[in-house]
Amino acid sequence: MTQSPVDGGPLLSVRGLAMRYDATTALAAVDLDVQNGEFLTILGPSGSGKTTLLRLIGGFIEPSEGRILFDGVDIAHTAIEARPFNTVFQDYALFPHMNVAQNVGYGLMVRGRPKSEIAEKVAKYLEIVDLAGMERRHPAQLSGGQRQRVALARALICDPRLVLLDEPLAALDAGLRRQMQEFLKSIQRQTGVTFLFVTHDQDEAVTLSDRICVMAQGRVEQIGTARDIYYRPKSRFVATFFGDNNLIEGCRVTVDGACVETPLGVIDLAAPTALAGKRATLCIRPESLSPLSEGETADMSIQAQVTAVDFAGPVTRALLETDAGVRLSLKSFSRPERDSILAGARLTIGFTASATALIPAEAAP
């Protein structure tokens, strides 16, 4: 159904894409490659330009600057109906005066396809989205999840090379949302169509995506797998956007880039860094710190005092203070017996060098 690009390169390349409204810059020089067949999520806080980026790609608006390359051709100013992309809207945008079958078949109808072909494909796609038998219903007679699936079928039936989804699950309640996430993911696998999905929900992004593109203030902060984004943040924004993180300020990378001096001691770097000779901040996830029992060793081990303990069911969180005065938070699985993590106790904690990441130090205030 979807041909892969001849050269195996990206399906879509965005280069220097910018969108300015009178006073606001909604999008500032974004570069992004979308690989064929992937589930790519654009994640960012409200106002970070996600919708703008998606609408530019979809052709709803024209960029102030930049290119959108598709099959090597710049389509930044191509008419919306001429782009082989289809959109699933947050409010579904179903046609209220048409029934489910007419909604789903619309894209084929306006292309002048024969009735028999439309009927056949509508049946097939309603089957795919699990709505067979609902042909005669009107959108007003459907639940939120069902409308969502009609919207998806309506987009997929046009054989798009790329499906654009702008927070399609935002209007659903938590349970249905989880169900629809799984559903979306399985449809995407089943059809092999490339999905570009917008959300501001971190968990949703992690659950669904092959890769995540984190955006903030109209810029791309980082693109990578969920694991990359989580463990290898490249900026302070990304480091703090996903869950808790320990940021240890006042580090300096040696000139040869082989190790970093930190208030926790000198850490040998496993991978080369672009920050050689520079001031840096060390990031380490709370669950990457583990209490060491007698005789256990780790790449790095430090002594610390437990200042507070918070039992939260499956995990126990603790605040620590090292002898050098660095405050750390630690997260570990709770155990039924009272374990070594007690307020006031002294602990030896260990971590591996590969669990740490370096980001540029904050500019001097």
Partner 1 sequence: MATVSANFRAADARRPLIGKRSLADWLLGAVAGIVFLALYAPIFLVFALSFFRTRRGEVQWDSFSLDWYGALFSNAEIAQALVFSLIVGFSATLAAIVLATGIALYASVPQRSERTRAVLEFLVFLPFLLPPIITGLSLLILSREIGLPRGFITISIGHTVFVLAIVYRILLTRIQAVSRNVLEASRDLGASRWQTFRYILLPQLGSAMAAAAMLAFALSFDETMITLFLVGDESTLPLRLYAMMRVGFTPEINALVTLVLIASVLLALIAARFIRGRVGDIEP
Query: Is residue 47 within the footprint of ligand ATP (CB under 6 A)?
Result: yes
CB of 127 to ligand ATP, least distance (A): 33
Residue 142 or 251 with smaller CB distance to partner 1: 142
CB of 138 to partner 1, least distance (A): 7
Tokens of 270: 């496993």
Q: Residue 122 corresponds to which amino acid?
A: V
Q: Find the part of the chain contacting ligand ATP (CB under 6 A) among 39-47, 246-254, 264-272, 349-357.
A: 39-47
Binder to ligand ATP among 3, 46, 116, 297 (CB under 6 A)?
A: 46
8 Å CB contact between 211 and 222: no
Query: Is residue 92 within the footprint of partner 1 (CB under 8 A)?
Result: yes
Spatial CA neighbour of 122 closest among 248, 133, 112: 133
Binder to ligand ATP among 12, 18, 26, 151 (CB under 6 A)?
A: 26
Residue 53 or 275 with smaller CB distance to Mg ion: 53
8 Å CB contact between 31 and 220: yes
Q: Find the part of the chain contacting ligand ATP (CB under 6 A) among 31-39, 48-56, 204-212, 290-298.
A: 48-56
The option from Mg ion, partner 1, ligand ATP, none interacting with 325 (CB < 5 to 8 A, set by class) reads none
CB of 38 to ligand ATP, least distance (A): 21
Spatial CA neighbour of 281 closest among 196, 359, 342, 177: 359
Residue 215 or 341 with smaller CB distance to Mg ion: 215
Residue 51 or 103 with smaller CB distance to Mg ion: 51
Cα 177–49–221 angle (5° rounding)?
95
**Could you report how far apart the first and last alpha carbons of the chain are, in Å?**
55
Counts of helices then strands in the chain (DSSP H, E) = 8, 20
Query: Is residue 134 within the footprint of partner 1 (CB under 8 A)?
Result: no
Spatial distance between the Cα atoms of 152 and 233, rounded to a whole number of angstroms: 33
Query: Is residue 24 within the footprint of ligand ATP (CB under 6 A)?
Result: yes
Residue 46 or 116 with smaller CB distance to ligand ATP: 46
Contacts to Mg ion by CB under 5 A: 51
CB of 90 to partner 1, least distance (A): 8
8 Å CB contact between 209 and 216: no
Q: Strand, coil or helix: what is 216?
A: strand
Spatial distance between the Cα atoms of 231 and 222, rounded to a whole number of angstroms: 12
Residues contacting residue 62 through CB under 8 Å, at least 6 positions apart: 56, 76, 77
Residue 142 or 358 with smaller CB distance to partner 1: 142
8 Å CB contact between 245 and 239: yes
Q: Which string of x and - marks every residue 192-231 that binds ligand ATP (by CB under 6 A)?
A: --------x-------------------------------
Spatial distance between the Cα atoms of 128 and 196, rounded to a whole number of angstroms: 20
Residues contacting residue 143 through CB under 8 Å, at least 6 positions apart: none
Sign of CA dihedral 291, 292, 298, 300: positive
CB of 307 to partner 1, least distance (A): 45
DSSP 3-state percent helix, strand, coil across the chain (nearest 5): 25, 35, 40
The option from Mg ion, partner 1, ligand ATP, none interacting with 200 (CB < 5 to 8 A, set by class) reads ligand ATP
The option from Mg ion, ligand ATP, partner 1, none interacting with 52 (CB < 5 to 8 A, set by class) reads ligand ATP
Binder to partner 1 among 110, 270, 274, 324 (CB under 8 A)?
A: 110
Query: Is residue 337 within the footprint of partner 1 (CB under 8 A)?
Result: no
CB of 341 to Mg ion, least distance (A): 42
What does the binding site for ligand ATP look like in residue numbers (CB under 6 A)? 21, 24, 26, 44, 46-52, 200
